[in-house]
Chain A
Amino acid sequence: MNTNWITIRNPGGNAMGDSLRSLLEALEQWSRLSPGDMIIVDMSRVSFINPFLILPLCALISAESAKGIGIEIKMPDKIASYLGTVYFPHGFSIAETHCWRDRLSAYNRKTYLPASSFPVTLQTTAIREQFLTTFEQILMRQLNLKGQIITVIKYLISEAIDNITDHSGALYGWIMVQNYPQKGYLDVCIADTGKGISGSYKESGKSNVKSDALALEYAVNGKSTKNITETRGYGIDTSRRMLVNGLKGKYFLFSGQAFYIYTHELEQITPLPKYGWHGTVVALQIPAKAPEGFNYTTFLE
Protein backbone atom coordinates (compact mmCIF):
# COMPACT_ATOMS: atom_id res chain seq x y z
CA MET A 1 0.00 0.00 0.00
CA ASN A 2 1.30 3.45 -0.90
CA THR A 3 1.36 6.29 1.57
CA ASN A 4 0.51 9.63 0.06
CA TRP A 5 0.79 13.09 1.50
CA ILE A 6 -1.81 15.79 1.10
CA THR A 7 -0.22 19.08 2.07
CA ILE A 8 -2.65 21.73 3.23
CA ARG A 9 -1.48 25.18 2.25
CA ASN A 10 -1.69 27.82 4.96
CA PRO A 11 -4.58 30.08 3.87
CA GLY A 12 -2.42 33.05 4.85
CA GLY A 13 -5.37 35.35 5.43
CA ASN A 14 -8.96 35.39 6.55
CA ALA A 15 -10.57 36.26 3.22
CA MET A 16 -12.94 33.63 1.85
CA GLY A 17 -10.76 33.10 -1.19
CA ASP A 18 -7.70 32.30 0.95
CA SER A 19 -9.34 29.28 2.57
CA LEU A 20 -11.01 28.19 -0.65
CA ARG A 21 -7.67 28.25 -2.46
CA SER A 22 -6.26 25.92 0.19
CA LEU A 23 -9.28 23.67 -0.17
CA LEU A 24 -8.99 23.51 -3.97
CA GLU A 25 -5.30 22.69 -3.75
CA ALA A 26 -6.06 19.88 -1.30
CA LEU A 27 -8.75 18.51 -3.62
CA GLU A 28 -6.40 18.65 -6.58
CA GLN A 29 -3.87 16.56 -4.65
CA TRP A 30 -6.63 14.21 -3.51
CA SER A 31 -7.74 13.63 -7.10
CA ARG A 32 -4.32 12.24 -7.97
CA LEU A 33 -4.37 9.49 -5.33
CA SER A 34 -4.79 5.87 -6.30
CA PRO A 35 -7.56 3.81 -4.72
CA GLY A 36 -6.46 2.15 -1.52
CA ASP A 37 -3.69 4.60 -0.77
CA MET A 38 -2.95 5.44 2.84
CA ILE A 39 -3.19 9.21 3.25
CA ILE A 40 -1.33 11.59 5.52
CA VAL A 41 -2.93 15.03 5.63
CA ASP A 42 -0.14 17.40 6.52
CA MET A 43 -1.51 20.53 8.17
CA SER A 44 1.71 21.47 9.88
CA ARG A 45 2.05 24.72 7.90
CA VAL A 46 -1.44 25.95 8.75
CA SER A 47 -1.52 28.84 11.22
CA PHE A 48 -5.02 30.18 10.52
CA ILE A 49 -8.08 28.26 9.52
CA ASN A 50 -11.80 28.91 9.20
CA PRO A 51 -14.96 26.92 8.44
CA PHE A 52 -14.51 27.15 4.66
CA LEU A 53 -11.49 24.87 4.96
CA ILE A 54 -12.17 22.97 8.19
CA LEU A 55 -15.67 21.77 7.34
CA PRO A 56 -15.04 20.38 3.83
CA LEU A 57 -11.91 18.65 5.16
CA CYS A 58 -13.94 17.07 7.98
CA ALA A 59 -16.62 15.90 5.54
CA LEU A 60 -14.04 14.56 3.09
CA ILE A 61 -11.91 12.80 5.71
CA SER A 62 -14.99 11.22 7.28
CA ALA A 63 -16.29 10.05 3.90
CA GLU A 64 -12.93 8.56 2.96
CA SER A 65 -12.49 6.96 6.38
CA ALA A 66 -15.93 5.38 6.02
CA LYS A 67 -14.64 3.69 2.85
CA GLY A 68 -11.86 2.10 4.92
CA ILE A 69 -9.10 4.38 3.73
CA GLY A 70 -6.47 5.00 6.40
CA ILE A 71 -6.00 8.70 7.08
CA GLU A 72 -3.52 10.25 9.44
CA ILE A 73 -3.48 13.93 10.30
CA LYS A 74 -0.30 15.84 10.96
CA MET A 75 -1.74 18.56 13.16
CA PRO A 76 -0.42 22.11 13.26
CA ASP A 77 1.01 23.08 16.65
CA LYS A 78 -0.33 26.64 16.61
CA ILE A 79 -3.99 25.80 16.16
CA ALA A 80 -4.15 22.22 17.44
CA SER A 81 -6.18 23.30 20.45
CA TYR A 82 -8.75 25.14 18.31
CA LEU A 83 -9.02 22.20 15.93
CA GLY A 84 -9.66 19.96 18.91
CA THR A 85 -12.49 22.13 20.18
CA VAL A 86 -14.18 22.16 16.76
CA TYR A 87 -13.95 18.36 16.64
CA PHE A 88 -11.57 18.22 13.67
CA PRO A 89 -11.25 15.93 11.74
CA HIS A 90 -14.27 13.70 12.35
CA GLY A 91 -16.72 16.34 13.47
CA PHE A 92 -19.27 16.59 16.25
CA SER A 93 -21.80 13.83 15.79
CA ILE A 94 -25.02 13.59 17.77
CA ALA A 95 -25.06 9.84 17.16
CA GLU A 96 -21.65 9.39 18.72
CA THR A 97 -21.68 12.05 21.42
CA HIS A 98 -23.08 11.16 24.82
CA CYS A 99 -25.33 13.98 26.16
CA TRP A 100 -24.89 15.91 22.90
CA ARG A 101 -27.07 18.83 24.04
CA ASP A 102 -24.88 19.43 27.09
CA ARG A 103 -21.75 19.20 24.97
CA LEU A 104 -23.11 21.74 22.50
CA SER A 105 -24.24 24.03 25.31
CA ALA A 106 -20.59 24.38 26.27
CA TYR A 107 -20.29 26.60 23.17
CA ASN A 108 -22.78 29.19 24.46
CA ARG A 109 -19.98 31.61 25.37
CA LYS A 110 -17.69 30.91 22.45
CA THR A 111 -17.61 32.58 19.06
CA TYR A 112 -17.95 29.38 17.06
CA LEU A 113 -19.80 26.12 16.84
CA PRO A 114 -18.00 22.88 16.05
CA ALA A 115 -17.83 21.20 12.66
CA SER A 116 -20.95 19.11 13.10
CA SER A 117 -22.55 16.32 11.16
CA PHE A 118 -26.29 15.73 11.22
CA PRO A 119 -28.30 12.80 9.86
CA VAL A 120 -30.23 13.37 6.64
CA THR A 121 -32.52 10.41 6.04
CA LEU A 122 -36.30 10.59 6.45
CA GLN A 123 -36.18 8.27 9.46
CA THR A 124 -33.93 10.68 11.32
CA THR A 125 -36.17 13.74 10.86
CA ALA A 126 -37.00 14.21 14.55
CA ILE A 127 -33.44 14.05 15.84
CA ARG A 128 -32.17 16.20 12.95
CA GLU A 129 -34.70 18.95 13.67
CA GLN A 130 -33.85 18.82 17.38
CA PHE A 131 -30.16 19.11 16.64
CA LEU A 132 -30.63 22.01 14.22
CA THR A 133 -32.85 23.85 16.70
CA THR A 134 -30.24 23.42 19.45
CA PHE A 135 -27.42 24.46 17.10
CA GLU A 136 -29.29 27.62 16.07
CA GLN A 137 -30.30 28.51 19.62
CA ILE A 138 -26.66 28.41 20.70
CA LEU A 139 -25.63 30.39 17.64
CA MET A 140 -28.20 33.09 18.41
CA ARG A 141 -26.99 33.26 22.03
CA GLN A 142 -23.43 33.70 20.78
CA LEU A 143 -24.31 36.36 18.26
CA ASN A 144 -26.63 38.31 20.57
CA LEU A 145 -28.10 40.14 17.58
CA LYS A 146 -31.40 41.90 17.31
CA GLY A 147 -33.89 42.55 14.54
CA GLN A 148 -34.37 40.97 11.16
CA ILE A 149 -30.74 39.83 10.77
CA ILE A 150 -31.64 36.92 13.07
CA THR A 151 -34.33 35.77 10.66
CA VAL A 152 -32.00 36.23 7.70
CA ILE A 153 -29.28 34.06 9.26
CA LYS A 154 -31.84 31.37 10.06
CA TYR A 155 -33.26 31.65 6.55
CA LEU A 156 -29.86 31.24 4.86
CA ILE A 157 -28.87 28.26 7.00
CA SER A 158 -32.25 26.54 6.71
CA GLU A 159 -32.41 26.78 2.92
CA ALA A 160 -28.93 25.30 2.49
CA ILE A 161 -29.68 22.49 4.91
CA ASP A 162 -33.03 21.71 3.34
CA ASN A 163 -31.29 21.31 -0.02
CA ILE A 164 -29.10 18.64 1.55
CA THR A 165 -32.02 16.73 3.04
CA ASP A 166 -34.07 17.07 -0.15
CA HIS A 167 -31.50 16.46 -2.85
CA SER A 168 -28.10 15.18 -1.75
CA GLY A 169 -28.88 11.52 -1.14
CA ALA A 170 -26.14 11.66 1.50
CA LEU A 171 -26.47 10.04 4.90
CA TYR A 172 -25.06 13.10 6.66
CA GLY A 173 -24.87 16.82 6.20
CA TRP A 174 -22.30 19.12 7.77
CA ILE A 175 -22.38 22.59 9.28
CA MET A 176 -19.90 24.90 11.01
CA VAL A 177 -20.10 28.54 12.04
CA GLN A 178 -17.40 30.97 13.12
CA ASN A 179 -18.35 34.43 14.29
CA TYR A 180 -15.94 37.39 14.08
CA PRO A 181 -17.49 40.04 16.35
CA GLN A 182 -14.64 42.52 15.79
CA LYS A 183 -14.87 42.19 12.03
CA GLY A 184 -18.64 42.34 11.99
CA TYR A 185 -19.46 39.15 10.12
CA LEU A 186 -19.80 35.40 10.51
CA ASP A 187 -18.63 32.58 8.29
CA VAL A 188 -21.02 29.72 7.74
CA CYS A 189 -20.15 26.57 5.84
CA ILE A 190 -22.64 23.82 5.02
CA ALA A 191 -21.64 20.75 3.05
CA ASP A 192 -22.46 17.22 2.02
CA THR A 193 -20.73 14.43 0.17
CA GLY A 194 -23.78 13.33 -1.78
CA LYS A 195 -24.66 13.25 -5.47
CA GLY A 196 -24.08 16.94 -6.13
CA ILE A 197 -26.28 19.39 -8.00
CA SER A 198 -25.74 17.93 -11.47
CA GLY A 199 -26.30 14.44 -10.06
CA SER A 200 -29.58 15.59 -8.61
CA TYR A 201 -30.71 17.06 -11.96
CA LYS A 202 -29.68 13.92 -13.82
CA GLU A 203 -31.52 11.69 -11.37
CA SER A 204 -34.68 13.72 -11.84
CA GLY A 205 -34.57 13.13 -15.59
CA LYS A 206 -33.22 16.52 -16.61
CA SER A 207 -30.60 14.96 -18.83
CA ASN A 208 -29.93 18.23 -20.67
CA VAL A 209 -27.87 19.36 -17.69
CA LYS A 210 -24.64 18.11 -19.16
CA SER A 211 -22.06 19.80 -16.97
CA ASP A 212 -21.53 20.88 -13.38
CA ALA A 213 -21.24 24.47 -14.56
CA LEU A 214 -24.66 24.33 -16.27
CA ALA A 215 -26.14 22.62 -13.21
CA LEU A 216 -24.93 25.51 -11.08
CA GLU A 217 -26.46 28.02 -13.48
CA TYR A 218 -29.77 26.15 -13.36
CA ALA A 219 -29.69 25.98 -9.57
CA VAL A 220 -28.83 29.65 -9.20
CA ASN A 221 -31.75 30.46 -11.51
CA GLY A 222 -34.09 28.41 -9.35
CA LYS A 223 -34.74 25.58 -11.80
CA SER A 224 -36.07 22.89 -9.52
CA THR A 225 -35.23 19.21 -9.84
CA LYS A 226 -38.74 18.46 -8.62
CA ASN A 227 -41.88 18.37 -10.72
CA ILE A 228 -43.77 20.86 -8.55
CA THR A 229 -41.87 23.68 -10.20
CA GLU A 230 -44.16 26.52 -9.06
CA THR A 231 -43.13 26.40 -5.45
CA ARG A 232 -39.73 24.68 -5.58
CA GLY A 233 -36.26 25.86 -6.39
CA TYR A 234 -36.33 29.20 -4.58
CA GLY A 235 -33.70 28.39 -1.97
CA ILE A 236 -30.42 29.14 -3.72
CA ASP A 237 -31.68 32.05 -5.79
CA THR A 238 -33.36 33.82 -2.90
CA SER A 239 -30.49 33.12 -0.52
CA ARG A 240 -27.78 34.51 -2.77
CA ARG A 241 -29.78 37.67 -3.54
CA MET A 242 -30.74 38.25 0.09
CA LEU A 243 -27.14 37.78 1.21
CA VAL A 244 -25.32 39.70 -1.54
CA ASN A 245 -27.78 42.24 -2.94
CA GLY A 246 -29.38 42.87 0.43
CA LEU A 247 -26.70 42.43 3.06
CA LYS A 248 -23.56 42.96 0.94
CA GLY A 249 -22.26 39.56 2.02
CA LYS A 250 -20.55 36.85 -0.03
CA TYR A 251 -21.95 33.63 -1.49
CA PHE A 252 -20.03 30.61 -2.73
CA LEU A 253 -21.50 27.38 -4.10
CA PHE A 254 -19.30 24.44 -5.08
CA SER A 255 -20.56 21.21 -6.59
CA GLY A 256 -18.80 18.69 -8.78
CA GLN A 257 -16.19 20.26 -11.02
CA ALA A 258 -17.44 23.83 -10.88
CA PHE A 259 -18.03 26.60 -8.40
CA TYR A 260 -20.13 29.76 -8.34
CA ILE A 261 -19.00 33.00 -6.73
CA TYR A 262 -21.36 35.87 -6.05
CA THR A 263 -20.30 39.09 -4.37
CA HIS A 264 -21.23 42.74 -4.81
CA GLU A 265 -18.38 43.05 -7.34
CA LEU A 266 -18.28 39.64 -8.94
CA GLU A 267 -20.55 36.92 -10.31
CA GLN A 268 -18.99 33.99 -12.07
CA ILE A 269 -19.13 30.24 -12.57
CA THR A 270 -15.74 28.57 -12.84
CA PRO A 271 -15.36 25.02 -14.14
CA LEU A 272 -12.41 23.12 -12.72
CA PRO A 273 -10.22 20.98 -14.96
CA LYS A 274 -9.78 17.58 -13.34
CA TYR A 275 -10.96 17.72 -9.79
CA GLY A 276 -13.85 18.94 -7.70
CA TRP A 277 -16.12 18.24 -4.78
CA HIS A 278 -18.21 15.06 -4.64
CA GLY A 279 -21.33 16.66 -3.26
CA THR A 280 -22.07 20.28 -2.51
CA VAL A 281 -20.41 22.97 -0.40
CA VAL A 282 -22.13 26.26 0.45
CA ALA A 283 -19.97 28.99 1.98
CA LEU A 284 -21.59 32.16 3.29
CA GLN A 285 -20.00 35.28 4.71
CA ILE A 286 -22.84 37.04 6.48
CA PRO A 287 -22.52 40.61 7.80
CA ALA A 288 -23.78 40.82 11.37
CA LYS A 289 -25.52 44.09 10.68
CA ALA A 290 -27.97 44.83 7.91
CA PRO A 291 -27.45 47.99 5.83
CA GLU A 292 -29.84 50.88 6.32
CA GLY A 293 -33.14 50.23 4.54
CA PHE A 294 -32.65 46.48 4.22
CA ASN A 295 -35.85 44.49 4.44
CA TYR A 296 -35.52 40.74 4.01
CA THR A 297 -39.17 40.31 3.05
CA THR A 298 -38.52 42.06 -0.26
CA PHE A 299 -36.36 39.08 -1.24
CA LEU A 300 -38.87 36.40 -0.31
CA GLU A 301 -40.63 34.61 -3.15
Chain B
Amino acid sequence: MSKIIHIVNHLPSTVTTRKAIRLINDSVSFSDNENVVFDFKGIAFISRAFADEFIHFVHKHKIKARFTNTNPNIREMLQVVEKNRSRRNNGYHNIAVTPLPEKEQLNHLLSLF
Protein backbone atom coordinates (compact mmCIF):
# COMPACT_ATOMS: atom_id res chain seq x y z
CA MET B 1 0.00 0.00 0.00
CA SER B 2 1.44 3.33 -1.02
CA LYS B 3 1.09 6.58 0.82
CA ILE B 4 -0.46 9.22 -1.44
CA ILE B 5 0.68 12.82 -1.13
CA HIS B 6 -1.48 15.36 -2.92
CA ILE B 7 1.04 18.12 -3.59
CA VAL B 8 -1.71 20.71 -4.02
CA ASN B 9 -2.63 20.27 -0.35
CA HIS B 10 0.81 21.58 0.60
CA LEU B 11 1.85 23.92 -2.21
CA PRO B 12 0.20 26.45 -4.53
CA SER B 13 -0.29 25.68 -8.22
CA THR B 14 2.96 27.39 -9.22
CA VAL B 15 5.96 26.28 -7.18
CA THR B 16 8.85 28.69 -7.54
CA THR B 17 11.58 28.26 -4.96
CA ARG B 18 13.66 25.41 -3.56
CA LYS B 19 12.59 26.34 -0.09
CA ALA B 20 9.01 25.33 -0.91
CA ILE B 21 10.05 21.74 -0.15
CA ARG B 22 9.86 22.78 3.49
CA LEU B 23 6.07 22.93 3.21
CA ILE B 24 6.00 19.20 2.46
CA ASN B 25 8.79 18.29 4.84
CA ASP B 26 7.13 20.08 7.76
CA SER B 27 3.77 18.43 7.34
CA VAL B 28 4.48 14.85 6.24
CA SER B 29 6.82 12.26 7.74
CA PHE B 30 8.43 9.57 5.64
CA SER B 31 10.17 6.35 6.56
CA ASP B 32 13.03 4.73 4.67
CA ASN B 33 12.04 2.77 1.58
CA GLU B 34 8.44 3.85 1.91
CA ASN B 35 6.30 3.64 -1.22
CA VAL B 36 4.90 7.08 -1.89
CA VAL B 37 2.78 8.38 -4.73
CA PHE B 38 3.20 12.11 -5.29
CA ASP B 39 0.06 13.33 -7.00
CA PHE B 40 0.62 16.57 -8.95
CA LYS B 41 -3.04 17.16 -9.81
CA GLY B 42 -3.71 20.90 -9.57
CA ILE B 43 -0.04 21.84 -9.94
CA ALA B 44 0.56 23.83 -13.12
CA PHE B 45 4.28 24.56 -12.91
CA ILE B 46 7.36 23.68 -10.87
CA SER B 47 10.63 25.52 -11.28
CA ARG B 48 13.78 23.65 -12.17
CA ALA B 49 15.18 24.66 -8.79
CA PHE B 50 12.22 23.14 -6.97
CA ALA B 51 12.34 20.01 -9.13
CA ASP B 52 16.00 19.59 -8.17
CA GLU B 53 15.26 20.07 -4.49
CA PHE B 54 12.31 17.70 -4.71
CA ILE B 55 14.38 14.92 -6.31
CA HIS B 56 17.07 15.44 -3.65
CA PHE B 57 14.39 15.18 -1.00
CA VAL B 58 13.12 11.90 -2.44
CA HIS B 59 16.62 10.41 -2.55
CA LYS B 60 17.62 11.72 0.87
CA HIS B 61 14.58 10.13 2.49
CA LYS B 62 15.08 6.93 0.44
CA ILE B 63 11.49 7.19 -0.75
CA LYS B 64 10.29 4.79 -3.43
CA ALA B 65 8.49 7.51 -5.30
CA ARG B 66 5.97 7.45 -8.09
CA PHE B 67 4.61 10.61 -9.69
CA THR B 68 1.07 10.88 -11.03
CA ASN B 69 -0.97 13.55 -12.79
CA THR B 70 2.16 15.39 -13.89
CA ASN B 71 1.57 17.73 -16.82
CA PRO B 72 4.15 17.59 -19.64
CA ASN B 73 6.18 20.49 -18.23
CA ILE B 74 6.43 19.03 -14.76
CA ARG B 75 7.27 15.61 -16.18
CA GLU B 76 10.01 17.15 -18.34
CA MET B 77 11.46 19.10 -15.43
CA LEU B 78 11.59 16.07 -13.11
CA GLN B 79 13.15 13.91 -15.82
CA VAL B 80 15.82 16.49 -16.67
CA VAL B 81 16.80 16.92 -13.05
CA GLU B 82 16.89 13.16 -12.39
CA LYS B 83 18.98 12.60 -15.53
CA ASN B 84 21.52 15.26 -14.56
CA ARG B 85 22.01 14.20 -10.97
CA SER B 86 25.28 12.53 -11.76
CA ARG B 87 26.22 14.38 -14.90
CA ARG B 88 27.48 17.90 -15.30
CA ASN B 89 28.46 19.94 -18.29
CA ASN B 90 31.78 21.36 -17.14
CA GLY B 91 32.29 23.57 -20.16
CA TYR B 92 33.50 27.08 -19.37
CA HIS B 93 33.42 29.97 -21.72
CA ASN B 94 35.42 33.10 -21.09
CA ILE B 95 33.51 36.32 -21.42
CA ALA B 96 35.12 39.55 -22.54
CA VAL B 97 35.62 41.82 -19.54
CA THR B 98 35.78 45.34 -20.89
CA PRO B 99 36.35 48.27 -18.54
CA LEU B 100 34.87 51.48 -19.90
CA PRO B 101 36.56 54.30 -17.99
CA GLU B 102 34.89 57.09 -19.96
CA LYS B 103 31.23 57.81 -19.48
CA GLU B 104 30.79 58.18 -23.24
CA GLN B 105 32.06 54.62 -23.74
CA LEU B 106 29.58 53.30 -21.20
CA ASN B 107 26.75 55.26 -22.80
CA HIS B 108 27.74 53.94 -26.22
CA LEU B 109 27.61 50.35 -24.97
CA LEU B 110 24.19 50.91 -23.44
CA SER B 111 22.95 52.52 -26.64
CA LEU B 112 23.57 49.16 -28.34
CA PHE B 113 21.42 47.35 -25.81
**Minimum distance in angstroms from A60 CB to a CB of chain B:** 19
Interface residues on B, range: 35 or more
Contact B18–A165 (Cβ < 8 Å) = yes
- A270 beta carbon closer than 8 Å to chain B: yes
Q: Which residue of B lies closest to A123 (CB)?
A: B22
B107 touches A21 (CB 8 A): yes
Q: Is the CB of B48 within 8 A of A263?
A: no
Within 8 A of A (CB), among B54-111: 55-56, 73, 76-77, 80-81, 84-89, 91-101, 106-107, 109-111
Q: Are B86 and A230 in contact (CB under 8 A)?
A: yes
Partner of A238, one of B12, B48, B106: B48
Q: Is B9 an interface residue (CB 8 A)?
A: no
Chain B residue nearest in CB terms to A15: B113
Q: Which residues of A contact B77 (CB under 8 A)?
A: 300
Q: CB of A162 within 8 A of chain B?
A: yes
**When A125-B22, A165-B17 are in contact, do A158 and B94 touch as well, CB less than 8 Å?**
no
B85–A221 touching, CB < 8 Å: no
Give the Cβ gap from A137 to chain B, nearest Cβ, in Å.
7
B93 cross-chain contacts in A, Cβ below 8 A: 221
Q: How far is the CA of A288 from the CA of B86 in the complex (A)?
A: 35
Asked if A75 is an interface residue, CB under 8 A from chain B, the answer is no
Q: Do B17 and A155 touch across chains, with their CB atoms under 8 A apart? A: no
Instruction: Kindly list chain A residues whose C-beta atoms are within 8 Å of the C-beta of B15.
Output: 129
Known A15-B113, A159-B49, A229-B88: A24·B20 in contact at CB below 8 Å: no
Q: Contact between B106 and A271 (Cβ–Cβ < 8 Å)? A: no
CA distance A301 to B15 in the complex (A): 19
Residue of A nearest to B22 (CB): A125
> Are A301 and B52 interface neighbours, CB within 8 A?
no
A42 at the interface (CB under 8 A from B): no
User: Given contacts A130-B12, A162-B47, are A21 and B97 in contact (CB under 8 A)?
Assistant: no
Q: How far is the CB of A140 from chain B (nearest CB, A)?
A: 9
> Please, how many angstroms separate the alpha-carbon atoms of A230 and B82 in the complex?
11
Q: In whole angstroms, how far apart are the Cα atoms of A21 and B111 in the complex? A: 9
Considering the chains assembled together, what is the distance between the CA atoms of A213 and B73 in angstroms? Answer: 34
How long is the Cα–Cα vector from A277 to B15 in the complex, in angstroms?
28
A30 within 8 A of B: no
* Residues B49 and A220 in contact, CB atoms below 8 Å apart: no
Residues of chain B within 8 A (CB-CB) of A229 are: 88
Tell me the smallest distance from the CB of A120 to a CB of chain B, in Å: 9
Q: Does B16 contact A (CB under 8 A)?
A: yes
Nearest chain B residue, comparing its CB with the CB of A132: B16
- Within 1-59 of B, Cβ neighbours of A (below 8 Å) are at 11-20, 22-23, 45, 47-50, 52, 55-56
Interface residues of B (CB under 8 A from A): 11-20, 22-23, 45, 47-50, 52, 55-56, 73, 76-77, 80-81, 84-89, 91-101, 106-107, 109-113
Apart from A21-B106, A125-B19, A161-B17: 13 A-B pairs, beta carbons within 8 A = A16-B113, A17-B112, A129-B17, A133-B14, A158-B45, A217-B97, A221-B92, A228-B56, A231-B81, A232-B52, A267-B96, A271-B99, A297-B80
Which 6 A-B residue pairs are closest in the complex by CB-CB distance?
Answer: A17-B110, A158-B47, A17-B113, A133-B12, A162-B49, A133-B14
Interface residues of A (CB under 8 A from B): 15-18, 20-21, 24, 122, 125-126, 128-130, 132-133, 136-137, 151, 154-155, 157-159, 161-162, 165-166, 213, 216-217, 220-222, 228-232, 234-235, 238, 250, 252, 260-261, 263, 265-271, 273, 297, 300-301
Q: List 18 A-B contacts (CB under 8 A).
A: A21-B107, A122-B22, A125-B23, A129-B12, A129-B17, A133-B12, A151-B45, A151-B73, A159-B49, A216-B95, A220-B95, A230-B84, A231-B52, A234-B48, A269-B95, A271-B97, A297-B76, A297-B80
